[in-house]
Amino acid sequence: MPTPLTRAEKARHTRRRMLDAATRLFTERGWTGTTVEDIARTAHVGVQTVYFTFGTKRAVLKEVLDAAIAGDSDPVATLDRPWARELLAEPDPAAQLARQAAGARRVLDRAAAVLEVVRAAAASDPELAELWRTNLHQRHAVQLRFAQALMTKTSGQLRAGHDAETAADIALTLLSPETYALLVTGRGWTPTRWEEWATDALVRQLLP
């Protein structure tokens, strides 16, 4: 006979069910097309359970976004995750850029659709506009750290005189959810093809 779940385990399962429901609804219907009532109904919980757990619909979307980017619920920053540490430790500049494209692909496979929900909603919702700006700042900060490592590995010699700031700008653009969505969702590229293109573009733009 299976061991009964503890109260904490039941709460985690319920939270996960609500987040899964919210992810599906937000990506299918968008921000305005999804209500807290929809999330509760789809997750088979009461509306007050959603409010008690998250507080607001915006807070639900933020947690959905955080989970999609991280791939889990662990409170570990991007630069502290194994793939980022391995990337920074990679001695070969071209191999580092390949790892950047691969890491971006894994994140965008999970999060591109949710990021598009936030980006679209930001035009009419000031709080979600701030969430979008914060996400953009965080993505740039990660790419800047990677660019600083790349500068060290190339003895400060990047293509066309780029420094760490402009190298981060280029990576931010090439590895953006907008570019991924345009090519993969809009034009039907496979994620593998996108990753190969992104790797080639980073190498051509940044390495001497």
Kindly report, residue by residue over 23-34, the tens digit of the pLDDT. Answer: 999 999 999 999
pLDDT score, position 44:
96
Check residue 93 and give its pLDDT: 98
- CA dist 176 → 114, 142, 169 (Å): 13, 12, 10
CATH numbers and ranges of domains, the chain? 7-68 (1.10.10.60), 76-206 (1.10.357)
Mean per-residue pLDDT, 63-70: 95
- Report the residue count for the chain: 208
What's residue 73's pLDDT? 80
Q: What is the pTM of this model?
A: 0.90
Query: Tokens representing 12?
Result: 């985690």
